[in-house]
Structure 1
Amino acid sequence: MELTADLEHEHVHKVYSQIATHFSDTRFKPWPRIAQFLNDQPVSSIIADVGCGNGKYLGVNQSTYCLGSDICPELISIANDRGHEVAVCDCLQLPYRTGMFDAVICIAVIHHLSTEERRLAALREMTRILRSGGHMLVYVWAMEQERKQFEAQDVMVPWHLQPKYAKGASQEKVSQKSTDNARMRERKRLKKKQKKQQKSQVSQASAVGHEDSTELNLTEDTSHTEYLLGDLSALNLSDEDLAIGPHKTIGEESHELHRTDVECSTEAIANNVDIAPYKGKITNSHELAQRNSPNDDCAANASNGLEKRGYQTFQRYYHVFQRGELVQLLSKCTDVVVIEEFYDHENWCVIGKKL
């Protein structure tokens, strides 16, 4: 247990604390299938986002009440600055009452837990806080990926930190730019939604013979969002929104490749170059990192090139899931039934319902 805790502390918790701002700046576009799950929840539902990171899913459905949690204080700080209700806590010990939530999501979290027992414990904790009849959605990295090749299920995946995000750089300026970018994206999202509502209401007015109607009754209360956004008219920011392709369900012959928000720059793509397997029994985190240093010439050259440009490399622990493994694990939670398993953006995903 001590070695497991040491591994996760060194290669998950500490790493995300150090790369939080850079990591957050690559996570801003909600994936369609997750957004669909959130938007399908009834009005006034209480939703838990376990491992919420920077909170990009907490504001998707404005008619629900979402609570986010994450073990990384730096990411929680970013989510809090965006106006979300969040807390720092461990997914193995959630500070919520049993049966409190109508729905739970857990996106790209439990693959960072280093034993099957801990992954199962996290799922059981999520089912504990879910009410009877409530649904949960869980995403984990898939071993079966086209852009990444894994030699084993337990791997170290590097994150190459850009120099401007490194400690000692102007962190206040970086943090402010990150917040401004998030606010600008939220403003664009809001304006896009308003335009859709306007078109819909114009169409409805025309259908009942009110072609000359000019008054549009927008249903969304934008006061809170506008308060968060403030006046950003002076900013000259590029549009970072990326087109996200549809998910692939089990049984389809091919998995089309789509750009996701993690691949928003060449530096982010480089983070997927030199994945190395962990082979053998875990003895200590230092030895694990040494065993998993890049051994491929191309990958090593890429890493060395980035280091010469001032990048820092951090190794993150992952357990990548094989097809059916997440279903099998969730099935060990006796009070949950698996409704659906699917493949989305190179993740294995399940939707479960609490009995």
Structure 2
Amino acid sequence: MKQEEVWDAIARPWKEFRQYDVSDVVEFLKNKKGRVLDLGCGSGRNFYDIEGLDFYGVDFSEKMVELAGARGYVEVKKAGVDAVPYDDGFFDCVIFSAVLHCVDSAEKRRKALEEVFRVLKNGGEALVSVWGRGQKRLKNRAKEGFVPWSVGSKKVERYTYIYDVDELRSELESVGFEILKVEEGRNIVFVVRKE
């Protein structure tokens, strides 16, 4: 089953079941203005109705796009994170939270980071977070593999790639980002800027 189909299958139960710590997103959005891209927006967990911010969403799952569309985004488009359907420099900031580790090839992960860089304005910032080995369930997991998920009697498998902080730092810098902040715990969180 393709990953797009997996996420279509789990969209509604995922929205109901998953509770996220979004404190890194809330902190990142402080004092921000303008257009925000929520890349890999899923059901819209990162959307906040904040004065001065216009949220746009992109996700490759048709079902997730439908759920996010009800949240209040200016618009939500169906597209992959490696082919963002917006012009160069369109966004003031990008949220790319808990998505990159779900992208199922090194080439697509690299292209996704290049797309974040491309759609950001000069001086724009991005929050990029991935699962980290600080999560007990990931300590001994293979670097690359699948995580099972049940939807009723149907079982599906979500792809995951487990980064370490130095690897992700290297990829972000190689795309051209300046690293502003790094946090490592349950997740690895980078705040980066396009110069």
Instruction: Report the Cα offset of residue 29 of structure 1.
Output: 5.1
Instruction: Report the Cα offset of residue 153 of structure 1.
Output: 0.3
The runs of 5 or more residues in structure 1 that have no matched partner are 1-9, 164-310
Q: Match of 1:153, as an amino acid?
A: K
Q: Does 1:330 align with 2:172?
A: yes
**Counterpart of 1:14?**
5
1:137-188 CA distance string (max 9 Å, x none): 0111113422433342001101122x3xxxxxxxxxxxxxxxxxxxxxxxxx
**Counterpart of 2:161?**
319
**Counterpart of 2:76?**
86
Higher strand share: 2
TM-score, normalization by structure 2:
0.91
Q: Match of 1:20, as an amino acid?
A: A
Instruction: Report the Cα offset of residue 49 of structure 1.
Output: 0.6
**Counterpart of 1:65?**
54
Matches of 1:33 and 1:83, distance apart in 2? 21
**Alignment partner of 2:174: what SS?**
coil
Contact 2:129-2:190 within 8 A present in 1 as well: yes
**Counterpart of 2:188?**
348
Contact 2:3-2:159 within 8 A present in 1 as well: yes
Highest relative contact order (Cα 8 Å, sep 6+), 1 or 2?
1
Q: Identify which range, 67-76 or 23-32, moves more after superposition.
A: 23-32
Instruction: Report the Cα offset of residue 315 of structure 1.
Output: 1.0
Higher helix share: 1
Matches of 1:93 and 1:148, distance apart in 2? 29
Q: Does 1:108 align with 2:98?
A: yes
Matches of 2:38 and 2:118, distance apart in 1? 14
Instruction: Report the Cα offset of residue 59 of structure 1.
Output: 2.0
**Alignment partner of 2:48: what SS?**
coil
Matches of 2:80 and 2:26, distance apart in 1? 24
Instruction: Report the Cα offset of residue 347 of structure 1.
Output: 1.4
Q: Match of 1:23, as an amino acid?
A: W
Q: Match of 1:351, as an amino acid?
A: V
Matches of 1:40 and 1:150, distance apart in 2? 39
Matches of 1:318 and 1:29, distance apart in 2? 17
The runs of 5 or more residues in structure 2 that have no matched partner are none
- State how 1:125-136 maps to structure 2 within 5 Å: 125-136=115-126
Matches of 1:53 and 1:349, distance apart in 2? 18
1:219-257 CA distance string (max 9 Å, x none): xxxxxxxxxxxxxxxxxxxxxxxxxxxxxxxxxxxxxxx
Counting aligned pairs with the same residue, the percent is: 28
**Counterpart of 1:56?**
45
**Counterpart of 2:31?**
40
Q: Match of 2:183, as an amino acid?
A: F
CA RMSD of aligned residues (A): 1.7
**Alignment partner of 2:69: what SS?**
helix
Taking a change above 3 Å as real, the CA distance of residues 30 and 58 of structure 1, as seen in their structure-2 partners, is: farther
Matches of 1:74 and 1:30, distance apart in 2? 23
Matches of 2:20 and 2:102, distance apart in 1? 22
Taking a change above 3 Å as real, the CA distance of residues 155 and 144 of structure 1, as seen in their structure-2 partners, is: farther
Matches of 1:36 and 1:19, distance apart in 2? 29
Q: Does 1:96 align with 2:83?
A: no
Q: Which has the higher Rg, Structure 1 or Structure 2?
A: 1
TM-score, normalization by structure 1:
0.52
Aligned length: 194
**Alignment partner of 1:124: what SS?**
helix
Contact 2:144-2:160 within 8 A present in 1 as well: yes
1:258-312 CA distance string (max 9 Å, x none): xxxxxxxxxxxxxxxxxxxxxxxxxxxxxxxxxxxxxxxxxxxxxxxxxxxxx43
Q: Match of 2:97, as an amino acid?
A: I
Matches of 1:350 and 1:51, distance apart in 2? 16
